[in-house]
Amino acid sequence: MRHTRSLRPGAALVAALIATAAVASGCGSDASDGTGKQTARPDVRGSSPPGSAPDSPSASSTRPTGKPTGPPSPALPDSVTRQKLSWSRCPEPNAAQGSDAGSPSPLPGGTRWECAELKVPLDYDEPKGKTIGIAMIRATERKGGGRRIGSLLFNFGGPGGSGVATLPAFARDYEKLRGRYDLVSFDPRGVGRSEGVRCLSDRKLDGYFAADWTPDTDREQKRLFARQQNFAHGCEKRAGTLLPHLTTENTARDMDVMRQVLGDQKLHYFGISYGTELGGVYAHLYPDSVGRAVFDAVVDPRSTPVSGSLSQSSGFQLALDNFLKACAARGEDCPVGEDPDEGKQRITDLLAELDAEPMPTDSGRKLTESLAEGGIAQALYAKDTWQLLARGLEDALVDGDGSTLLLLADALNGRNQDGTYSTLQSSLTAISCADNRQRYGVREIKSELPGFTEASPVFGPMSAWGLSSCHDWPVHGQWTSPPVRAAGADPILLVGTTGDPATPYGGTRAMKEELGEGVGTEVTYRGEGHGAYDSDNTCVRRAVDGYLLRGKVPEDGTNCR
């Protein structure tokens, strides 16, 4: 499945879509809180191949066996841990980061964003060898908020999302936290300005995402795997020496360099979606350095690529079913009918029709089955964008116009409005395949296909074929599951959402158990969408803010509605 575990949409594009949708079909919730602010965010992170469950951690068939490879890395030289960062005014995000994000706006009080480049070892086993640059961004602490705690480092998910582009776009959600922290984020290695990986040209990516990812014949299956092979060879040609080092473990080590260079005794951290997996790996490597940490939209560290992708298919189907129920309640205004089961069948039929004959759009490009499935999924990441899904379905089913669904698909795939692509797709594939050992061919996928289709007739087939993501990848994966056990670490707040499509709710309990006794504290948001803190739920905000700002650990099992 072409869906990642992050919260960051193509902000300008999604905002424009919300404006143009104008609640025309009346099947979604209000898109703002009355101030023009989006109250939740869909994920736009595309995956490597369509159909895959990117950032799905791998696992063995029984217990997780992942662990850092080899003996501890050699000590880092002072030139790395004591480097001085040259903070300066930030440039606008470039195409690799997602140029639709726009230039970082000044914060309340006139504080400007500052950017710098951190040098880290390419290979931590050779700490005095070649280095690579990690792009960073920060907004300094707001005066008058209380005694400064330190830096609060954000990772918004993916893997493959640019933190440098993301943090400014939604910083007002974290303005209260800036009362006691410098807000900091970064482009992880292999992403955006941090040696961002590109595997195909923009024109070829257009074709790649529009292609048929639900093969019905042997010939179509061969074409799918040929595309995967071509994608992998493109990555190897353009970034071959970098690929073995784009692991989550190395990014966690980069984060500890950040901690030291920023002058913090402990790492205070806010990880969202894949950022929770990254945070768990950091806690495993450096349990004594964990400060106040929040994991929101929690990844299940036990899942295999198969079980993780299957769970994600079920999660998106649940979100779609909830949308269809809300839509049906509007009666004749619902473009897919007043019966949720009828609506699901109409969507399934639409995808089948697009598989046979793509639909025209106002851009001149065609809406294919894979792009439509991606557009539908994009709108399900947040309840606030259900109205866009209703609009897109009405356009397609009534008018034969695929324009809205195509724009949503472009947001999911990281396509900028000028036709360029960010590094999302290549970065995500490179990181996922550097992490995960499992590789899947036709036989393995076909054996899993019935279960995926049963879990979701809309998302299941493409998700199953997406297990081909790392087929023929030029480097071996590091582990069978991410190591997250962190005995002795300070409390980590785990926030799960019951209606989360991309990181289903069960991952929260699994992460708690894997972190170890007394580390994880659960907070449950009984609502919709991918991620809870940015839903503006007062109960969730109070729990998270109380912990980050005052060190008050909420009661384990806290429920928010």
Residue-wise pLDDT tens digits, 534-547: 998 999 999 999 99
Pinpoint the alpha helices (H) of 438-534. Answer: 442-455, 460-465, 506-515
Report, as an integer, the average pLDDT of 21-44.
Answer: 38
Please check the confidence at residue 245 and state whether its pLDDT lies above 90.
Answer: yes
Query: Predicted confidence band at 28 (pLDDT cuts at 50, 70, 90)?
Result: very low
Among the listed ranges 54-63, 297-306, 483-492, which one has the minimum average pLDDT value? 54-63
Residue 523: predicted pLDDT? 98
Cβ 309 vs Cβ 56: under 8 Å: yes
Residue 542: predicted pLDDT? 98
Please check the confidence at residue 36 and state whether its pLDDT lies above 80.
Answer: no
pLDDT per residue as tens digits for the range 402-416: 999 999 999 999 999
- Residue with more model confidence, 371 or 144: 371
Report, as an integer, the average pLDDT of 159-174.
Answer: 94
Contacts of 196 (CB under 8 A, 6+ apart): 96, 97, 187, 190, 422, 423, 426, 427
pLDDT per residue as tens digits for the range 78-109: 999 999 999 999 999 999 999 887 788 888 88
Please check the confidence at residue 55 and state whether its pLDDT lies above 70.
Answer: no
Cβ 266 vs Cβ 490: under 8 Å: yes
Cβ 495 vs Cβ 533: under 8 Å: yes
Query: Predicted confidence band at 32 (pLDDT cuts at 50, 70, 90)?
Result: very low
Residue 66: predicted pLDDT? 44
Cβ 323 vs Cβ 346: under 8 Å: no
Please check the confidence at residue 46 and state whether its pLDDT lies above 70.
Answer: no
Query: Predicted confidence band at 51 (pLDDT cuts at 50, 70, 90)?
Result: very low
Beta strand pairing call for 492-499 and 290-296 = parallel
End-to-end CA distance of the chain: 29
Residue 106: predicted pLDDT? 84
The fold for domain 78-196+243-303+479-559 equals Rossmann fold (3.40.50)
Distance CA 122, CA 368 (A): 40
Can you spell out the DSSP letters for 144-174?
TSSS--EEEEEE-EETT--HHHHHHHTGGGG
**Average pLDDT over all residues of the chain:** 89
Query: Predicted confidence band at 10 (pLDDT cuts at 50, 70, 90)?
Result: very low
Please check the confidence at residue 53 and state whether its pLDDT lies above 60.
Answer: no
Please check the confidence at residue 70 and state whether its pLDDT lies above 70.
Answer: no
Residue 146: predicted pLDDT? 86
Please check the confidence at residue 401 and state whether its pLDDT lies above 80.
Answer: yes
Give me the residue spans of the domains in the chain. 78-196+243-303+479-559, 202-238+305-467
Cβ 553 vs Cβ 294: under 8 Å: no
Residue 52: predicted pLDDT? 37
Contacts of 376 (CB under 8 A, 6+ apart): 320, 347, 389, 392, 393, 405, 408, 458
Instruction: Output the CA–CA distances (angstroms, integers) from residue 56 to 27, 131, 228, in the order listed.
Output: 31, 28, 18
Residue 536: predicted pLDDT? 87
Please check the confidence at residue 274 and state whether its pLDDT lies above 70.
Answer: yes
- Residue with more model confidence, 4 or 137: 137
Residue 101: predicted pLDDT? 79
Report, as an integer, the average pLDDT of 288-313.
Answer: 95
